[in-house]
Each structure stands twice: as C-alpha cells, then as structure tokens.
C-alpha cells in the first residue's frame, strides 16, 4: 500500500473546554492546540521565539475537559522538541528549578514529569539541538490513575535564552478502564467499531497570551511565507515588527486551509544593511487534522539585496514528530526529493537530511528528527557574492492526525571583494595619519 493512500477516521474539531494558555514576556509564539481524535487524546504543540534581551520563562498549558468522568484510567504521554540559536552567541533551553519541561496533570494533580530540573539543552552559534524523545506510561497508555472527574492537562514550562527559538510536539493519553461488568459490552463495542470512543462536544479552542510587550512599529522587510498542502497553496505576507536589535524583525502567523491542518510560525529576519548579515530563522509547527496523508511544503523567503565579492553561509535544523493513537509516519515527499530541509541563496542550494528514510511511530509516541547543520561553526561555507533573497524550504509527507515541529536558521555573511578590502585598509591608514 502506498503511504499516500493511508486513510483514517475523520478527526473532529477541538473539544469544548480544551484550551491553550501561555505566559512569558514578549512572547511571539506560533502555537497549536491541535484537535483531539477523542476525549482521551490531548496533543500539545508549541513553537516560540524569545525576542527580548534576556532569558525568559515560558509556561504553556493545554487542557481537555471530559464530557463524563472516568472511574479509573490508564495514562501515558510523550514529548520531543528542539532549540536553535538565532543570535550567534549560543542557545540554551532548560527546566525551571523544581519543575519539569513537561508535566501531566489529572484534575489539577500531577501524575508524571518528563525532563525534570536540572535538565538543559544547548546549541552552539547558529546551531540546533534536539530535545528528547521521552515518554511515560509506555506502552502508551499503561500507567494506572485514579478517578478522573473533570479534566487532564499538559503543562510545558521552560527557560529560553535571549533571541533564540524552540519548538515542541507532545501528547497525553488518558483511556478509561471499564468496570468489570462492562468488559463484555466493551468487547462487543470494539468489534462493531474500533474507533467509536467517548467524545466531548466540539467548539473552537481559545488562546490567552499574557505579558506581551507593546507592539513595535511594523517596518520590517516583507517576508514571504507559502504553505502548500497537496494541491492547495496559501501564500502569506506577515508584517515585520521591530525587536529592538538592529535591523531585526519578528514575523508570526498561522493557516488553516479547509480545516484540514494547523500551521503556525514564529520567525526572525534581519535587514543586512543594519545587522551586517542576512539571517532568517525561527520555529514552526504543523498538525495534519485531516483523514488522510498530506503532502506539505513550507517556504519562507527574506529579501536581502547583496552584490559583493562573495559570502559565507551556514545554517541548521532540528525537529520532532508525534503520532496519535493510530501510530504514524513522516517521510520525504517523493523518491525524487533529495533532502527534507533546503536553504537557497542566489544560485546556491544546500540540503540537510539528504536521503532521509523517514520515521514510523507506534501509537502516541514522539520522535526526534535529529539536529543537522552546514557551514558551522561560522558561517564558513563559501556562498554567492550577489543575491536578492534567502529562503528556507521544507517538504514532507505526514500521516493523518499527526504533528511535527521545527526550529531552524539560515545566515549569510557578505565578504567584501578584494578591491573593497584594499580601499577599506587605505581609509583606515588615512584616518590614522590624520589623528597624528
């Protein structure tokens, strides 16, 4: 069977009472509280860029409310993610003291932690690092829990260094355990329909963001974002907002074409005239909420007009993938595709994850896509001397009901032509003589 032909039951809209709440100074976050396949499955996918001048604490809660209580249940969950340096000074993501990156709660009571303090992950200059995968209650779900009266919750909490990006995919599964007298009925019901589970009523979820800094003037270069899902294309021109760093702007947005996906991005772009280099980076997440495998292409392009002798380029990428209760897969878009991630500048294209064989997951599991880079430390790979833009492209197949997230960066440093270097040297000598 072709992977393109794999189909699943239609995934319903977000359940009533399911919500996402996040706190953190100057949060510029791409977020997703992806729809639940049933009342017992809660995904929590989150991407963020810290645009402030200092390390910030972020706390994000994903909450699902049950339509009816469980007398007893089995629980389990998983998490994977990534962190990327966007400033050239290294990046760090760590658990808050006496806490954990991921906490699972039932009716407000903690039942499991993943990546507890003093956990930390770091990335070198313009590099990316993987986080996880980790899980509890494996095979998911298998950890017994007592009565569940109202809700279950994922809480992500972490510290992220200034100017850097992070992304996560995660889930929490809570399955009711039938009373002994109901086992025979439950068995008969499973024969009639494996997928017919208890579901909540359905409405849209909300996001509350606290502690946001006042919006800066919207004067950034026009970044072009294009998301293509199968044959449907959705071009976007997000507004750039100044971050306070010279020539650096933030871009964020989301897309939900035909209610079959959730796509969110939070990016940083720099004006080369002010920042001295062209940089495009940030974090993205994507959830396939349709009933079939999707072919997805994400393209992000930043204008950068340069005509010098040459340039030095470098970049990195890391990501994660989380499957729902049916398991899932993520792979290249076609046998002819050379790489999962590509960076393009002038006539030069560089690919990462070349010949990637994809990943196949068991139900409710998470996986790391690894960390990958080129032209680092640096940037150090010789690039073109004339170009008008920098671009990042990611293309993949993702199975129904599943989620992926990325953090990434691409940087280009102009190198003056030899003649220009000589003129600069002469100018320096002249200034030195005048001072004497």
**Partners of 76 in the beta sheet?**
173
- 400 within domain boundaries: yes
- 425 within domain boundaries: no
**Burial classification of residue 187, based on how many CB atoms lie within 10 Å of its CB (0-12 exposed, 13-18 middle, 19 or more buried):** exposed
- 266 within domain boundaries: yes
- 289 within domain boundaries: yes
Count the Cβ atoms, other than its own, within 10 Å of residue 218.
11
- Per 3-state DSSP, what percentage of the chain is helix, strand, and coil (rounded to 5)? 10, 55, 35
What is the tally of structural domains in the chain?
1
- 317 within domain boundaries: yes
Report pLDDT for 299: 96
Report pLDDT for 338: 84
- 431 within domain boundaries: no
Report pLDDT for 218: 52
Question: Residue 148 is part of which domain span?
Answer: 3-419
Report pLDDT for 131: 98
pLDDT, tens only, 283-292: 999 999 999 9
- 428 within domain boundaries: no
Report pLDDT for 307: 80
- 135 within domain boundaries: yes
Nearest to 29 by CA among 405, 366, 330, 368: 405
Report, as ranges of residue numbers, the positions in the chain whose pLDDT lies below 70: 1-39, 179-219, 257-258, 417-436
């Amino acid at each position: 069977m072709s992977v393109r032909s794999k189909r699943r039951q239609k995934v319903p809209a977000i359940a009533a009472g399911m919500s996402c709440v996040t706190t953190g100074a100057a949060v510029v976050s791409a977020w997703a509280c992806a729809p639940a396949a049933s009342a017992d499955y809660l995904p929590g996918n989150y991407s963020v860029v810290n645009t402030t001048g200092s390390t910030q604490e972020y706390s994000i809660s994903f909450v699902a409310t049950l339509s009816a209580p469980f007398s007893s249940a089995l629980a389990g969950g998983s998490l994977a993610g990534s962190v990327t340096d966007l400033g050239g000074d290294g990046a760090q993501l760590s658990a808050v003291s006496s806490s954990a990156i991921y906490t699972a709660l039932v009716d407000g009571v903690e039942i499991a932690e993943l990546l507890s303090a003093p956990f930390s992950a770091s990335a070198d200059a313009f590099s990316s690092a993987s986080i996880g995968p980790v899980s509890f209650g494996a095979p998911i779900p298998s950890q017994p829990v007592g009565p569940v009266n109202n809700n279950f919750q994922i809480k992500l909490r972490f510290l992220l260094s200034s100017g850097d990006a992070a992304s996560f995919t995660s889930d929490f599964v809570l399955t009711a355990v039938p009373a002994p007298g109901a086992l025979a009925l439950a068995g008969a019901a499973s024969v009639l329909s494996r997928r017919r589970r208890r579901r909540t009523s359905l409405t849209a979820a909300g996001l509350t963001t606290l502690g946001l800094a006042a919006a800066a003037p919207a004067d950034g270069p026009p970044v072009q974002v294009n998301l293509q899902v199968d044959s449907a294309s959705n071009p976007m021109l997000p507004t750039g907002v100044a971050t306070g760093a010279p020539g650096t702007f933030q871009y964020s947005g989301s897309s939900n074409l035909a209610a079959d996906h959730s796509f969110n991005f939070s990016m940083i772009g720099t004006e080369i005239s002010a920042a001295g280099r062209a940089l495009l980076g940030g974090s993205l997440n994507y959830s396939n909420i349709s009933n079939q495998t999707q072919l997805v292409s994400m393209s992000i392009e930043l204008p950068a007009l340069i005509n010098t002798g040459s340039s030095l380029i470098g970049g990195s990428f890391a990501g994660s993938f989380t499957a729902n209760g049916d398991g899932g897969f993520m792979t290249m878009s076609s046998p002819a595709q050379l790489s999962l991630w590509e960076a393009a500048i002038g006539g030069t294209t560089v690919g990462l994850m070349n010949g990637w064989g994809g990943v196949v997951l068991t139900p409710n599991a998470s996986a790391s896509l690894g960390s990958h880079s080129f032209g680092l430390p640096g940037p150090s790979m010789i690039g073109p001397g004339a170009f008008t833009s920098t671009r990042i492209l990611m293309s993949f197949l993702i199975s129904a009901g599943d989620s992926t997230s990325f953090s990434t960066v691409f940087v280009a440093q102009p190198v003056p032509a030899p003649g220009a270097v000589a003129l600069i040297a002469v100018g320096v000598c002249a200034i030195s003589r005048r001072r004497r």
